[in-house]
Structure 1
Amino acid sequence: MMLKRGLSRQILLAMSFMTVAAGVLVFFGTYLAFTILFYFSPWSDETDSWLTAFDFMVLSGLILVALVVAAFTSIRLARRILAPLESLAISARRIKDGDLSARANPGDHSLGETALLVEDFNAMAQRLQDMAADMTLWNATIAHELRTPLTILKGRLQGMIDGLFEPDERSLNALVLQVDSLARLVEDLRTVTLADSGHLDLRIEPVRLKDEIERLARVIEPELQAEGFELRLRLADIHVPVDAMRIRQVLLALITNARRYARRGVIEVSLKVERDMTILQVADEGPGLDSDLASSAFEPFRRGSQSGSLEKGGNGLGLSVVRAIVEAHGGKVRYAPSAKGGALFEISLGKPAA
């Protein structure tokens, strides 16, 4: 109520002052104009050129009427302005106290700026509510993802302490795998979080991307062949301003995704220039993503069904890491069905280096 009383008083005083000032200026301006006119007129000597008591009474009456009109108008205007502002203040107070569902009422939309202010406030409140919901979901999902490897580690180690398991090489390797899983999850979370906050460290420099892809292919190709995959490269010889290590991370994530979930066959990696843009593509031979997940494939912790090629069994962050790194480069990544019915991931990295 203090806000309402204070602002009403300010509006009333301001409009009253403006009314009085305008009345005085109009009166004296008119009087001065007629005085000058009469001074140069033939009958100027017969005209009284100064204010009389009657003139002051007329002026006072006009000012009093103007004040009444100004007060009435300002009160009505104050109510129209203050209704949405008071609603906004109450909603802000509720949000401060933790009620993120609070929304302000814009009231009379004819007051354009006030209505826009309230709409912007409501949009901000909705975004805060969505962020809080996303954070709650993230915390629950991260806790779920961490629980499985930690439970296995605890059970195995407790079993070794109790003498149920022998600490042989096989058991220790299994524990190392669980630790690796935890390390990947933590690193993926770190990458996505840094990218979303705009703090992902990139070392951008012109890179001959063909060499980087071929170097990665030589490392992973033996494992792919052992599992029945053929890695096929179609690479244009271009230089692109990127962080080479991060692009290798992106490419490895996409190839690993195809290796885990695609049918045995060809995984094709292509690098080309289209419409003055550098295009990097990874395609497999199927079965591709489920139709209901294709639009949200790059969201964190999204997994496909057993028939899809979207990170079932992974930590659900691989494709979101891809998106985060690509967007940190100023590029875009999209999914589309491949020509052979599989998954096609296309990355646009901007203009090649001159």
Structure 2
Amino acid sequence: MLKRGLSRQILLAMSFMTVAAGVLVFFGTYLAFTILFYFSPWSDETDSWLTAFDFMVLSGLILVALVVAAFTSIRLARRILAPLESLAISARRIKDGDLSARANPGDHSLGETALLVDDFNAMAQRLQDMAADMTLWNATIAHELRTPLTILKGRLQGMIDGLFEPDERSLNALVLQVDSLARLVEDLRTVTLADSGHLDLRIEPVRLKDEIERLARVIEPELQAEGFELRLRLADIHVPVDAMRIRQVLLALITNARRYARRGLIEVSLKVERDMTILQVADEGPGLDSDLAASAFEPFRRGSQSGSLEKGGNGLGLSVVRAIVEAHGGKVRYAPSAKGGALFEISLGKPAA
């Protein structure tokens, strides 16, 4: 039994057209014979130009044709409209909040209709994935914010109650928590703007060697204090980029190596390969776990190696790297380094002439 809706309306319309066509054929045939008889009458010896039996035969043939046409129309309409009706029902379920709804494409004999349903199902799956990602983001962000806020609240309440002295050490600890919150908010803002295509970039030809060396002079003392050696291998090239954002990318990659790599060499290289600018950051291990490598650039992914020297961070560092590089029209990838560590390679397009 057909459900009320588009299929029923179309089937009723097709049935009406079939009946109308049958009636038109019947009376049209009768009218044609009448006109033919008027202009070319039969001989007087003929009793009648069309007997009652002839009318019965003609009516029977038209009735059979009408039944066959109606049956064929209904079968064809069911095949055409079944996937469309399934699509309409699924669309209403998605509108009501059920993102798991999917349409049935039928037997795929009608290619265009099946393709439409497959595209709809792909769209519905993407919506469901986006909703799941948003739920995960909200939960993760709440967790990331709760930790520093809890520390801040506890420390401040302790100072109010007289449990802690508001000395320089305590105040510096509070400032660190505020910095952590500010960094989280800024990283979230960067990733969100880049994903929406609204990250503001000031692109101009930049001598990357100078920018990298300037950053290295700032962070090298801290790296050396923790047992790392920063080595630079830089080609002297100009690249159209946002210098501040590229420094942010490089700092994030070096910070990631400082947190998770063994103490040793961190090498930053800049070169041109196949008319592409390549920026690489490599360390001496242990690199990323195989299950983490595939999703390393997704938000809130952290390394969990037992040999990590320092945990922390908000899990957005590599996501920020990906967002900024892709905003430049480039690509970033991970591969094991020659020394068994992590190698992050960034492609930034053609050097400036």
**TM-score, normalised with respect to structure 1:** 0.84
Contact kept, 8 Å, 2:300 with 2:315, in 1: the verdict is yes
- Counterparts in 2 of 1:197 and 1:63: CA distance versus 1, 3 Å: farther
Q: Comparing 62-71 with 229-238, which one deviates more in the overlay?
A: 62-71
- Counterparts in 2 of 1:264 and 1:9: CA distance versus 1, 3 Å: closer
Q: CA deviation at 1:292?
A: 2.2
Q: CA deviation at 1:16?
A: 7.6
Q: Comparing 192-201 with 49-58, which one deviates more in the overlay?
A: 49-58
Q: CA deviation at 1:260?
A: 2.0
Contact kept, 8 Å, 2:261 with 2:309, in 1: the verdict is no
Distance in 1 (CA, whole Å) between partners of 2:56 and 2:202 is 81
- Counterparts in 2 of 1:10 and 1:342: CA distance versus 1, 3 Å: same
- Counterparts in 2 of 1:30 and 1:278: CA distance versus 1, 3 Å: farther
Q: CA deviation at 1:20?
A: 10
Over residues 22-71 of structure 1, what are the superposed CA-to-partner deviations in whole Å (9 max), with x where a residue is unaligned? 99999999999999999999999999999999999999998776654443
- Counterparts in 2 of 1:167 and 1:73: CA distance versus 1, 3 Å: same
Q: CA deviation at 1:307?
A: 3.1
Contact kept, 8 Å, 2:100 with 2:124, in 1: the verdict is yes
Q: CA deviation at 1:161?
A: 0.6
Over residues 289-329 of structure 1, what are the superposed CA-to-partner deviations in whole Å (9 max), with x where a residue is unaligned? 12221111111111112436698321111011111111111
Distance in 1 (CA, whole Å) between partners of 2:166 and 2:342 is 42
- Counterparts in 2 of 1:173 and 1:79: CA distance versus 1, 3 Å: same
Secondary structure in structure 2 of the residue aligned to 1:199: coil
Distance in 1 (CA, whole Å) between partners of 2:48 and 2:242 is 86
- Counterparts in 2 of 1:221 and 1:229: CA distance versus 1, 3 Å: same
Over residues 188-242 of structure 1, what are the superposed CA-to-partner deviations in whole Å (9 max), with x where a residue is unaligned? 1111111112111111122111111111111111222222222111111111111
Contact kept, 8 Å, 1:304 with 1:310, in 2: the verdict is no
- Counterparts in 2 of 1:306 and 1:41: CA distance versus 1, 3 Å: same
- Counterparts in 2 of 1:151 and 1:16: CA distance versus 1, 3 Å: closer
- Counterparts in 2 of 1:256 and 1:23: CA distance versus 1, 3 Å: same
- Counterparts in 2 of 1:61 and 1:5: CA distance versus 1, 3 Å: farther
Over residues 107-161 of structure 1, what are the superposed CA-to-partner deviations in whole Å (9 max), with x where a residue is unaligned? 1210111111111111111111111111111111111111110000000000111
Contact kept, 8 Å, 2:26 with 2:59, in 1: the verdict is no
- Counterparts in 2 of 1:57 and 1:183: CA distance versus 1, 3 Å: same
Distance in 2 (CA, whole Å) between partners of 1:214 and 1:49 is 112
Q: CA deviation at 1:173?
A: 0.7
Q: Comparing 105-114 with 40-49, which one deviates more in the overlay?
A: 40-49
Distance in 2 (CA, whole Å) between partners of 1:273 and 1:295 is 26
Match for residue 326 of structure 2?
327
Contact kept, 8 Å, 1:19 with 1:66, in 2: the verdict is no
Contact kept, 8 Å, 1:288 with 1:309, in 2: the verdict is no
C-alpha RMSD of the superposition: 4.3
Contact kept, 8 Å, 2:87 with 2:102, in 1: the verdict is yes
Distance in 2 (CA, whole Å) between partners of 1:326 and 1:73 is 59
Contact kept, 8 Å, 1:330 with 1:349, in 2: the verdict is yes
Q: Comparing 11-20 with 77-86, which one deviates more in the overlay?
A: 11-20
Q: Comparing 77-86 with 58-67, which one deviates more in the overlay?
A: 58-67
Distance in 2 (CA, whole Å) between partners of 1:307 and 1:294 is 16
Contact kept, 8 Å, 2:262 with 2:284, in 1: the verdict is yes
Distance in 2 (CA, whole Å) between partners of 1:336 and 1:13 is 63
- Counterparts in 2 of 1:5 and 1:52: CA distance versus 1, 3 Å: farther
Q: Comparing 91-100 with 171-180, which one deviates more in the overlay?
A: 91-100
- Counterparts in 2 of 1:8 and 1:342: CA distance versus 1, 3 Å: closer
Contact kept, 8 Å, 1:188 with 1:317, in 2: the verdict is yes
- Counterparts in 2 of 1:52 and 1:213: CA distance versus 1, 3 Å: farther
Q: Extract unaligned runs of 5+ from structure 1.
A: none
Percent pairwise identity? 99
Distance in 1 (CA, whole Å) between partners of 2:278 and 2:309 is 21
- Counterparts in 2 of 1:297 and 1:345: CA distance versus 1, 3 Å: same
Q: CA deviation at 1:167?
A: 0.9
Distance in 1 (CA, whole Å) between partners of 2:96 and 2:309 is 41
- Counterparts in 2 of 1:261 and 1:53: CA distance versus 1, 3 Å: same
Q: CA deviation at 1:341?
A: 1.4
- Counterparts in 2 of 1:316 and 1:66: CA distance versus 1, 3 Å: same
Match for residue 128 of structure 1?
127
Contact kept, 8 Å, 1:207 with 1:241, in 2: the verdict is yes
Contact kept, 8 Å, 1:91 with 1:102, in 2: the verdict is yes
Contact kept, 8 Å, 2:260 with 2:303, in 1: the verdict is no
Contact kept, 8 Å, 1:261 with 1:310, in 2: the verdict is yes
- Counterparts in 2 of 1:20 and 1:219: CA distance versus 1, 3 Å: same
- Counterparts in 2 of 1:342 and 1:74: CA distance versus 1, 3 Å: same
Over residues 74-108 of structure 1, what are the superposed CA-to-partner deviations in whole Å (9 max), with x where a residue is unaligned? 21111112211221122122222221111111112
Distance in 1 (CA, whole Å) between partners of 2:307 and 2:289 is 6
Distance in 2 (CA, whole Å) between partners of 1:192 and 1:209 is 23
The number of residue pairs the alignment matches comes to: 353
